[in-house]
Structure 1
Amino acid sequence: MLTLYYAPQSRATRVLALLHELGAADKVEIRPVTLRRHDNTGAADPANPHPEGKVPLLVHDGVAIRESDAIMIHLCTLFPEAGLMPQPGTPEHGAFLSWMAWYGNVMEPVIVGQVAGIEHPAYHATFRGLKEMQARVTEALSRGPWLLGARMSAADILVCSTFLWMPDSAPRDAAVQDWIKRCAALPGQVKALAFEATLQAAA
């Protein structure tokens, strides 16, 4: 059994979008929960088993899986027929894993540091800054329409999710902007946002 603990307009949105792209949304129970938001509204939901009260959290036969990149890799492994992750053991799979890990290890800390106004040599030596983060994405998309080249993958959904949430953090490069538009128009993204709108209208 698969259960996704989810809240609208959160990091769980990209997981829901991936589920639709995988054709697996009907195979996972979507369980909405409340969150403590950054503006101090809302509250942690006691029904959410995440140890920090966050989302997304995927529970697979009683085992909890945290962090967006881990959840998305796990889902791509469970539903390989969608082709959103290169075959394990191939060089392309290594490149895919690099982007998935880069998101959590570099991109998100850079974005949070930018928002928080963090200025410290150790911080910038470890993660670099917004300019360097944007350069990695721009360089990748100069070689093809997707991060892995000709092939769209779950890495595009994950990495682009921040730019969809915070457009001002995205490079102004034409190829990057075109990629963002294509990611926003993916059927899974459209369905995820429609689901969120319905959920919020019923609240």
Structure 2
Amino acid sequence: MTATDRITLYYSPQTRALGTRMLLEELGAPYDLRILNMKAGEQRQPAFLAINPLGKVPTIRHGEAVVTEQVAIYIYLADLFPEAGLTPAIGDPLRGPFLRWIAYYGSSFEPALMDKAFKHAPADRNQSPYSDYDTMLGALAAQLAKGPYLLGERMTAADVLWGVALNWTMMFGLVPKVEPFISHAARITARPSFARLSAADAEMAAQHAAAAAGSGHT
């Protein structure tokens, strides 16, 4: 299994899978889309549940390897295409910070975001995986303020993950529209790959909505 083997991305428009597709484009990776109409419930069908029992996108297949979980997917893909320069190599002083901030997304940011979105009472700071929402967000803001990217002057796969995530979480009011979140999201979404894929997503989502309506799904 090599980097020249085509990657299959299980995908649905206007989901967090957009960031993975953007990363594939930024890496210049050869890939194929397997599109799931989530409005029609295709992510809950046996064929896909056999690949990802949680029924989530993004999911990728590379040869015989199936990789789920956004953070794992980003690390896997960035390491698979080191020539793109979007991951510090093992031994690079930036490797540790890269892993730290990319893991921070799944281990701290998302749990905090879900608690806030669904108005869950947060756990005690000493038991919470993210301390508390304001502290978690403040640590991220302090790192991004060093800019222009998470690791300073060098853009990595972590910036794709965070830039796309901050863009949609600010859009839906889950994260405040403040500096440096605005600048970082704008820097990533200004890339040609994001504009191109967002337009394709809008068209695909409209087709899925029409297909679901026609079949009686809501």
Two-structure CA RMSD over aligned residues (Å): 2.0
Matches of 1:160 and 1:180, distance apart in 2: 4
Equivalences, count: 197
Q: What TM-score does the superposition give when structure 2 sets the normalisation length?
A: 0.82
Q: Aligned match of 1:170 in 159, 171, 175? A: 175
Partner of 1:135: 138
Matches of 1:51 and 1:76, distance apart in 2: 25
Partner of 1:17: 22
Matches of 1:177 and 1:111, distance apart in 2: 17
Cα deviation, 1:159-195, whole Å, max 9, x if unaligned, reads: 2322211212334443331111111112222222122
Matches of 1:123 and 1:16, distance apart in 2: 35
Matches of 1:46 and 1:9, distance apart in 2: 23
Partner of 1:60: 62
**Larger Rg: 1 or 2?**
2
Contact 2:14 2:205 in 1 (8 A): no
Please give the residue correspondences for 1:76-91 in structure 2 after superposition, counting only pairs within 5 Å.
76-91=78-93
Structure 1 counterpart of 2:183, one-letter code: D
Matches of 1:68 and 1:200, distance apart in 2: 21
CA shift, 1:113, in A, is 0.7
Partner of 1:199: 204
Gaps of 5+ in 2: 1-5, 209-218
What secondary structure sits across from 1:193 in the alignment?
A: helix
CA shift, 1:53, in A, is 1.1
Percent sequence identity over aligned pairs: 35
CA shift, 1:124, in A, is 7.1
CA shift, 1:155, in A, is 0.7
CA shift, 1:201, in A, is 4.2
Gaps of 5+ in 1: none
Mean Cα displacement is larger for which, 137-146 or 91-100? Answer: 137-146
- The answer to whether the aligner puts 1:154 opposite 2:180 as a matched pair is no
